[in-house]
Structures are given as C-alpha cells and as structure tokens.
Amino acid sequence: MNLSMILISAILVNNAVLIKSESVCPLIGASGSDRSAAAMSLTVLFTTLTAQAIIWPIHYYVIEPFQLHYLETISTVLVVAGLVQAEELLFSSRWPALRSELGIYLPLTAANGAILSVLSENLTDGNSFADSMAYALGTGLAFCLAMFLFRCIRMKLLYSDIPESFRGPASSMIAAAILALVFMGFSGLIEGLFGMGM
Amino acid sequence: MNGVKNAASSIIVTCTLCLVACMVVTLCFQVTEERITQNEQAKANELRLELLPDADSFTKVDDCDLVQGVTEIYKADNKTGWIITAQARGYQGWVTVMTGIDQSGKITSVKVTDVSAETAGIGTKLTKQDYLDQYRGASSVSSYKGKLNSTYIEAVSGASYTSEAVFNCVSLSFMQVQELIDSEKEAKLYEQKK
Amino acid sequence: MNRKSKREIFLNGLLYENPLLISALGICSALSMTSKTADAFWAGLTVLFTLVCTNVFLSALKRVIPAQVRIPCSMLIIATFVTVGQLLSKAYLPSMDQSLSDYLPLITANCIILGRGEIFACRNSIVNSAVDGFGCGCGYLAALLATAMLREILGSGTLLGLRVLSTNLDPVPLFIMVPGGLFVIGILMALLKKLLSLSKPVSQNAICSSCPASPHCPRVGKGGCTR
C-alpha cells in the first residue's frame, strides 16, 4: 500500500475517532476553546508519531527475539504514558494556563484509544517501519481533523438556544453522532480512487 | 538539590514499579502458559471439525512444501480431506482464511478466522456464513462470470480488497491441495516401482 | 477535601458524577460494547472490577509515587491488571475468552480508570477510593446497560438475543453503528441531567466537582464555565 492510500484510509475511510469510535472522550472534553483543541490535536499527533518510532524497534529488537509477547501491552503503555508525562511537565512549566484549560484530558492522552490501537495494530499486522509511521501519521491527522470539525460545531452550538438538559456533553454527543454519520459516507472511497481490486 | 532528588526518586520509583509489573506478568504467564496452549489446541481442533465434519481427527502435515501464503496444512486421519490455513494481504493487513477441502477437491466449508485488520463492519461482512456459503462445493473458483467449470465468487461491495484477499486464500488452498494430491500420487508410484 | 460518608461517595459515582453520562468518560468502550446487552453487561463488570482494584492500588501507593511520574505509574498498574486478566481468562475461561478478548484490551484505553485515579484515588484513603471505584463502576455498568438496551431494541429489535420488537416494525440498524450509539448516549446524558436537576437543585460546586477538569481549573466553584 502506498502512502496516499494509507493516509486517505486512516484519515477519511477508517477515521479512528468517528468510524472506529476510539478516543471520543478528549474530543468532547478538549474542544472547549480553540487553544485547547489545537493543543490536544498536536499533542496526540506528536505522541502517536514518537511512540510509534520508539515502539517499532523495541518490538523487533527486544520483544520478538526473546519471545516476550505477554509484555507487549505493558511496554506500549509505558512508552505512551512516559511521553504524556513529559508533555504534561512541559505544559505545566511553559503554558500553565493552557494546562488548566485542558484539565484532566492531557493526562488522559495516555489512555487514548486511537494511539494505543494504531500501535498494537501495526505490530499485529507486521508492517514495515515506514508503513507503521504512515499509519501513525494518518491516525494523528484523523484525530486532528475530527477535533477541528468538532470544535467548529461547538462554536456554532455556543450561539444556539439549547434546552437546559442538553447543555454540555449531551448536545456535543448528538453533534458528534451527526459528524460520524457524515464520515460513514466515505466508505468505498479507496476502491473508487485507486481502482477496483477484483 | 531538591530537583535532582525529585528526579532521582521519580526514576527509582518508576523503574521499581516497572520491574514489579514485569515480574508479576511473567509469573502469571509461566503459570498459565500450558493451559493456554491446551485451550488453543482444543479450540483449533473444534474449528477443524466444523470445517470438515466427516473427519475424526487431524494431523499436521509437515513434510510437504507449503505454497507461498499457506501457513498450515492439517490432514484428516480418515483421509476425508484437508484443512488449509492461508493468509493474503487485504485492505490494511493480513486476512487469515481456513478452507476445508475433501478428497475429491471440492470445498466443504470456508471460514475467515482473522479479518480484524480490515474496515470494521464492512470487512467483517465477509465472516458471515451466508456470504461464505457461495464457496461451498466449488472445485474451482473464479472472479469472472462465465468461466467454464468454475464457481463465480461475488465480492462484497465496499470491501473489494478484503473479498479479494479471501478469494486469494481459497485459490492458494486449491493450489496447495493439488500439490498434496500430486505428491501423494508420486509417493504411490514410487512405492509401486519398488 | 470535604469529608464525605461512604454512602455519599457511592451515590456520587453512581449518579452525580456518573462517569459516562455526566463526566463523559469511557465513551469509546461504551460505543463498541453496547450493541448487545450481554456484551455491555460483561464489559461493565470487567470495568467495575478493574476500577476498584486500580483505585485501591493507586490510593495505597499515593505517598510512594512522586507527582512527576503519576501517569506512567498509574498506566503501569492498569496495564498489569489487564494483562494478568487476559492471561487468566485465556487459561481458565476459554469459552468466555472469545468475547472477553474484545473487552479486556479496551480497558487499558478506558479513560474512566485513569481519570478516577487522577481525580480521586490519588487524594483519598484506600477505603474511600474502593467505594468510589465501586460507585463509579456501578454507575458505568448501569449507563452501559441502559445504552445497550436502547440500542439493541431499536437497532436489531432484540433484547438479549430474543426478538422483542413486533415483526411489523423494522429495526433501524443505524442504532447499532457508531452514530446511533453517540446519539443514544447523548439522549441518556440529557435525561440523567434532567432527572438529577429535578431531584435536587444543582449548585455550582456540584457542577464543578463532577467536571473532570476540576483539579486544574482556575474557575472552580465560581461559574463562568467554558465547557
């Protein structure tokens, strides 16, 4: 699979957030302001790429040779959590206001389903380093796209007259539902763009 | 000084916790390893019996050359057929398919055992028995309508790469069975010549 | 921290800070695990169990773990529980393993466990953390069951595999897919919020204490929330 196919697949057809329904929580939580949305997207993108770059060699030079597959989860989680902790320290020291805006969703990046799943899928599928990095880039960008669209929707919602019970996460969820529905329309895009397989 | 002390204690605590975690998991693995392999073998055997119901038990075929893409061959002990496990590249990863072929070279059943790498919801349509039933009884498969003596296999719309992967796996299984039959014939002729 | 009774902590986790419906955590697992009620039940149960255990551990180790490495250490504990759980279920519950193998990896990515650990377990006693874990776990289980029942009935016309919708009505498969799930959860969120506001008037403090951002928010208790 070439790079463009991987990227289109990861960003549109198989969008980690809206199609595979991973990591929806930060979408709802960090889209309160433009700054926090941008910060969250960049954090996820950076974490995914760096974690993939570190985990691929660990898997092929440490885990595979010694057959330590049962330590796979722990090593993946540790790398991601370590990166997130470093990011948290960075944010706390340089941009403390942004850190408070993100609240608990910054540490929660360590439990980001999209990141953990793309890391483990790349290992299960036995992708090469280049392909794995491409998938990681695609997943990070997928999150950025979903976050960006969602932030735009929430800005519109701010000026709408929402019933009392629906204010807050409830209206966001329903907006996310419609967004997910829209993304379902991308299925079959790969076959259309790159020619039918059979 | 405080900063260094903090950093040192952080590193020590994390490393200790890491070690403890690894030890706990390794210990658990040692304890459960045997049972897990037993359970997996029992499950695999059950799956094989589903694919080739006339068989009684299976033996793994190790001495035959595997066609590129075939990962496992199991032969039924009562000579009713073979189970071939093959892998082919699908949309985003590998698709694993098990095919049961009887002695006459006809497919008894096809099971897609691993389609997790494909598009969720659409790729998984290929695991449904109603779709895979079109493979049943075929002695040759083709993706073109109208090919003589070949069963036409329809792809699932929106999952053509995954459908192609399943098709390829089944084709590989046919090739493998043909090689197995040929090598058995050769072995018989060799025995007769002796 | 105000001193709360065990009952208050439990009710907090169950209703006022319901992890799925009020704090909007753990949505990922909720979306994938609520297409069938049986799946939702087992998924909720595994989260409940892991949540209690992790909360207890984190609370026990709260003085040992420095603040700078809280995240990797919490995730290490969670990952260890999940791996051990996976190995044990593969060995001793092979019949359940097929479905359990779907839920267990999701727990590592479940925001509730890490979230509750950061908000509650790091600052409270072991017993209180266990109660909080139990309350939140029950709240999550209840929310999952409610979502799953709605999704299953509307989406496939069945409940626990038995057809309940009249055969004259066609189910709407969209409810089993991601958009349907998001929609159902949104409606349930609004419903719970309405029910809670009817039973007792919601003070600003209560709103803030249920918000996952509260440990770091500069506007705690003062209103003017941007969420």
Q: How far apart are CA C207 and CA C202, in angstroms?
A: 7
Predicted pLDDT at C1:
45
Q: How far apart are CA B103 and CA B119, in angstroms?
A: 35
- For the ranges B147-151, C44-48, C52-56, C60-64, the lowest mean pLDDT is seen at B147-151
Predicted pLDDT at C217:
63
Predicted pLDDT at A189:
82
pLDDT category at C141 given cuts 50, 70, 90 is very high
Predicted pLDDT at C222:
59
Considering the domain architecture, whether residues B71 and B147 belong to the same structural domain is answered as yes
pLDDT category at C211 given cuts 50, 70, 90 is low
In 3-state terms, what secondary structure has residue C167?
Answer: coil
User: Is A166 close to C190, i.e. CB distance below 8 A?
Assistant: yes
pLDDT category at A197 given cuts 50, 70, 90 is very low
B116 has a chain C CB within 8 A of its CB: no
Per the structure, the count of domains in chain B is 2
Q: CA separation (Å) from B41 to A140, A155, B60?
A: 39, 55, 12
Considering the domain architecture, whether residues B38 and B67 belong to the same structural domain is answered as no
A54 has a chain C CB within 8 A of its CB: no
Identify the DSSP state of C118.
I
Closest CA to A169 of A20, A23, A30, A41: A30
Considering the domain architecture, whether residues B28 and B44 belong to the same structural domain is answered as yes
Predicted pLDDT at A198:
32
Q: CA separation (Å) from C90 to B115, C29, C101?
A: 20, 21, 8
> Mind telling me how many Å the CA of A44 is from chain B's nearest CA?
22
Domain that holds residue B32: 1-51
Chain B residues touching C90 at Cβ < 8 A:
32, 36, 39
pTM: 0.82
Interacting residues of B7 by C-beta distance below 8 A, sequence separation 6+ = C68
> Which pairs count as long-range contacts for B134-141, CB under 8 Å and 24+ apart, including other chains?
B135/B99, B135/B107, B135/B109, B135/B110, B135/B170, B136/B107, B136/B108, B136/B109, B136/B110, B137/B106, B137/B107, B138/B106, B138/B107, B139/B104, B139/B105, B139/B106, B139/B107, B140/B174, B141/B167, B141/B170, B141/B171, B141/B174
User: Is C190 close to A177, i.e. CB distance below 8 A?
Assistant: no
Closest CA to B165 of B108, B119, B103: B119
**Cβ(C74)–Cβ(C117) under 8 Å?**
yes
Six token digits for residue B194? 């002796």
Please compute the mean of the pLDDT values over residues A128-132 and round it to a whole number.
91
Task: Kindly report, residue by residue over A53-89, the tens digit of the pLDDT.
Answer: 999 999 988 888 888 888 888 899 999 999 999 999 8
Interface predicted TM-score of the whole assembly (ipTM), two decimals:
0.88
**Cβ(C9)–Cβ(C132) under 8 Å?**
yes
Please compute the mean of the pLDDT values over residues C7-12 and round it to a whole number.
83
Considering the domain architecture, whether residues B30 and B101 belong to the same structural domain is answered as no
Considering the domain architecture, whether residues B189 and B169 belong to the same structural domain is answered as yes
B144 has a chain A CB within 8 A of its CB: no
B124 has a chain A CB within 8 A of its CB: no
C199 has a chain A CB within 8 A of its CB: no
Considering the domain architecture, whether residues B149 and B59 belong to the same structural domain is answered as yes
**Is the pLDDT at C225 greater than 60, yes or no?**
no
**Is the pLDDT at C106 greater than 60, yes or no?**
yes
Q: How far apart are CA B192 and CA A161, in angstroms?
A: 90
Q: Which amino acid is at C124?
A: N
What's chain C's average pLDDT? 82
In 3-state terms, what secondary structure has residue C84?
Answer: helix
Interacting residues of A189 by C-beta distance below 8 A, sequence separation 6+ = A8, A12, A13
Please compute the mean of the pLDDT values over residues C76-89 and round it to a whole number.
87
Interacting residues of B47 by C-beta distance below 8 A, sequence separation 6+ = B98, B111, B113
Considering the domain architecture, whether residues B155 and B59 belong to the same structural domain is answered as yes
Predicted pLDDT at B77:
83
Considering the domain architecture, whether residues B46 and B61 belong to the same structural domain is answered as no
Task: Kindly report, residue by residue over B116-167, the tens digit of the pLDDT.
Answer: 767 666 667 778 888 888 888 888 877 777 676 778 888 877 777 888 888 8
Please compute the mean of the pLDDT values over residues A11-36 and round it to a whole number.
88
Q: How far apart are CA B166 and CA C200, in angstroms?
A: 58
User: Is A198 close to B91, i.e. CB distance below 8 A?
Assistant: no
Q: Of B35, B51, B67, which residue is a domain's last? A: B51
**Is the pLDDT at C143 greater than 90, yes or no?**
yes
**Report for A164-168, B103-107, B112-116, C151-155: range of highest mean pLDDT:** C151-155
User: Is B120 close to A126, i.e. CB distance below 8 A?
Assistant: no
Chain C residues touching B10 at Cβ < 8 A:
66, 68-69
Considering the domain architecture, whether residues B65 and B122 belong to the same structural domain is answered as yes
Considering the domain architecture, whether residues B163 and B99 belong to the same structural domain is answered as yes
Instruction: List the domain boundaries for chain A.
Output: 3-186
β-strand pairing of B70-76 with B141-142: unpaired
C63 has a chain A CB within 8 A of its CB: no
Considering the domain architecture, whether residues B89 and B148 belong to the same structural domain is answered as yes
pLDDT category at B48 given cuts 50, 70, 90 is confident
Closest CA to C70 of C147, C123, C128, C1: C123
Considering the domain architecture, whether residues B86 and B62 belong to the same structural domain is answered as yes
User: Is B22 close to A74, i.e. CB distance below 8 A?
Assistant: yes
Q: CA separation (Å) from C214 to A112, C85, C178?
A: 20, 32, 29
**Is the pLDDT at B96 greater than 70, yes or no?**
yes
Predicted pLDDT at A175:
92
